[in-house]
């Protein structure tokens, strides 16, 4: 379905571009855009999937949890810096924007879907939830310390300040922490039995929102790249996203191995470290970047790459168990 979203964005981008420009407050610049509201709704649905009892259980494995969290916060940034060093001297405007998009992904917390992938693969959901919550609280704060260089290279003097506010200021609180907290509060209010009964519908709604948002943002990114006659830009975005994603899964596996944790905790480390929250990355980019920025391309590509790789890891683990 992700592949279908990209295909529709390529062949029929007009509706996605229109939705991308819809404002809910009368077209005021800097505005309450429909895409941002949908992203907040996606985070609220993810918050409804966070089980606080599992978070408490994750603290029963402090060595594994905090080691994996440290790797989650540091390793992706190191990978992006190494990629930037390797690409130094390339075509500057597009390359700088692609690297900014990659850096935004690296600064984002674990994906809201990582506990579901962990559970499907027989992993420790408690450790996965601990990584999700810990990286959501700490990830953007750490990212704001090193994103400035990429922002300055991609957009001049004002962008670093706007980006810093978007990832660690009131904007992040309003559009990321609050929707997630609302979802968690709804889960507590409704109770686990109601949530369990609604779980298939919540997952369906989350998947539908994700696919719609991928279509909306991909419509703009693909159209702009094709107008610039730059299909190589899209290929570079996919390649960079794949490189970051593969290295993240590898770091997760190494973390589990080196921490001498059990199989279930290692699985949680693989998915928790390897998967990043595309929704938050898109929300931050939507707040500070122009709609034609090439930075959106690697963020959109990462959604496809990480789920394909997550499925491949799940299949490999199932084959080994069989």
255-305 per-position pLDDT tens digit: 988 887 788 888 999 999 999 988 888 888 888 888 778 888 899 889 889
> Quick one: which of 237, 262, 276 has its CA closest to 107?
276
Which residues, 6+ apart, have CB-to-CB distance to 161 below 8 Å?
Answer: none
**What pLDDT is recorded for position 273?**
93
Structural tokens at position 50: 């966070």
Cα distances (Å, whole numbers) of residue 167 to 2, 49, 188, 254: 26, 23, 27, 28
Question: Would you say 55 and 130 are in contact if contact means Cβ atoms under 8 Å apart?
Answer: yes
Burial of 86 (0-12, 13-18, 19+ CB in 10 A): exposed
Unique residue bearing structure tokens 């290295």: 247
Positions in the chain short of pLDDT 50: 28-30, 91
Q: What does the DSSP assignment read for 161-192?
A: HHHHHHHHSHHHIIIIIHHHHHHHHHHHHH-H
Longest Cα separation, the chain: 57
| pLDDT for res 176 | 75
Place of tokens 């609302």: 182
pLDDT at residue 44 in the model: 85
* Closest alpha carbon to 198 in 13, 12, 44, 49: 49
Residues 6+ apart with CB under 8 A from 12: none
pLDDT for res 276: 92
């Amino acid at each position: 379905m992700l592949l279908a979203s990209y295909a529709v964005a390529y062949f029929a981008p007009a509706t996605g571009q229109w939705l991308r420009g819809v404002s809910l407050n009368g077209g005021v610049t800097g505005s309450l855009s429909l895409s941002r509201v949908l992203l907040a709704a996606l985070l609220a649905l993810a918050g409804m999937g966070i089980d606080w009892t599992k978070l408490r259980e994750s603290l029963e494995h402090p060595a594994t949890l905090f080691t994996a969290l440290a790797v989650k916060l540091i390793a992706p940034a190191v990978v992006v810096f190494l990629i930037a060093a390797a690409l130094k001297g390339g075509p500057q405007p597009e390359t700088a924007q692609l690297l900014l998009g990659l850096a935004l992904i690296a600064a984002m917390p674990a994906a809201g879907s990582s506990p579901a992938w962990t559970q499907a693969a027989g992993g420790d959901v408690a450790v996965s939830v601990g990584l999700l919550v810990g990286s959501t609280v700490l990830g953007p704060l750490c990212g704001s310390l090193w994103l400035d260089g990429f922002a300055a290279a991609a957009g001049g003097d004002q962008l670093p300040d706007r980006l810093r506010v978007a990832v660690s200021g009131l904007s992040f609180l309003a559009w990321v922490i609050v929707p997630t907290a609302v979802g968690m509060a709804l889960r507590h209010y409704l109770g686990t039995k109601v949530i369990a009964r609604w779980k298939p519908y919540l997952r369906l709604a989350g998947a539908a929102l994700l696919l719609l948002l991928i279509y909306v943002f991909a419509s703009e990114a693909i159209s702009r790249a094709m107008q610039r006659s730059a299909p190589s830009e899209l290929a570079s975005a996919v390649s960079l996203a794949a490189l970051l994603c593969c290295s993240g899964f590898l770091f997760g596996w190494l973390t589990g191995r080196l921490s001498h944790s059990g199989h279930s905790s290692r699985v949680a480390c693989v998915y928790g470290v390897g998967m990043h929250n595309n929704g938050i990355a898109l929300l931050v980019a939507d707040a500070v970047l122009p709609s034609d920025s090439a930075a959106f391309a690697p963020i959109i590509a990462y959604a496809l790459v990480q789920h394909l790789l997550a499925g491949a890891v799940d299949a490999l683990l199932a084959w080994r168990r069989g």
